[in-house]
């Protein structure tokens, strides 16, 4: 959250809201780590939204890039083979958009993969 503030994004009391609830995944006592990863994942999206003056969530490439970054940097798949799971995780999120076909999502992910996977901001490294 500090990096969001440094980027000029004010964080008010209504910054984090639950819309429609959060699916909780509890498996083998790792809930605390999963909860932290989900929060980091969503904060990466918030950071991307803040720093991207021209970011448009209805643009498949923009959406794909933020999903790649959020899946990579949050550690969502660290417990499950890391790198090889980031792309399918991003694919799942982008194809959840009802206006984006599976083919279009795959093309968008492939087009931005290298740039977005290697963009580690706000962290120094992944």
Residues taking part in catalysis: 42
Rounded Cα distance, 32 and 53, in Å: 33
Contacts for 24-33: CB closer than 8 Å, 24+ residues apart: 30/79, 33/79
Rounded Cα distance, 56 and 86, in Å: 22
Rounded Cα distance, 3 and 8, in Å: 9
Locate tokens 């990579």: which residue?
A: 72
Quickly list H helices, the chain.
2-6, 31-51, 60-73, 83-95, 102-117
């Amino acid at each position: 959250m500090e990096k969001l503030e440094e980027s000029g994004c004010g964080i008010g009391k209504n910054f984090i809201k639950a819309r429609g609830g959060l699916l909780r995944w509890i498996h083998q006592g790792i809930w605390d780590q999963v909860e932290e990863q989900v929060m980091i994942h969503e904060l990466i999206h918030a950071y991307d939204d803040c720093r991207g003056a021209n970011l448009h969530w209805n643009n498949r490439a923009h959406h794909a890039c933020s999903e790649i970054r959020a899946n990579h940097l949050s550690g969502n798949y660290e417990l499950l083979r890391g790198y090889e799971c980031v792309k399918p995780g991003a694919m799942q999120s982008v194809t959840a958009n009802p206006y984006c076909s599976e083919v279009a999502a795959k093309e968008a992910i492939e087009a931005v993969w290298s740039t977005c996977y290697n963009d580690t901001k706000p962290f120094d490294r992944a």
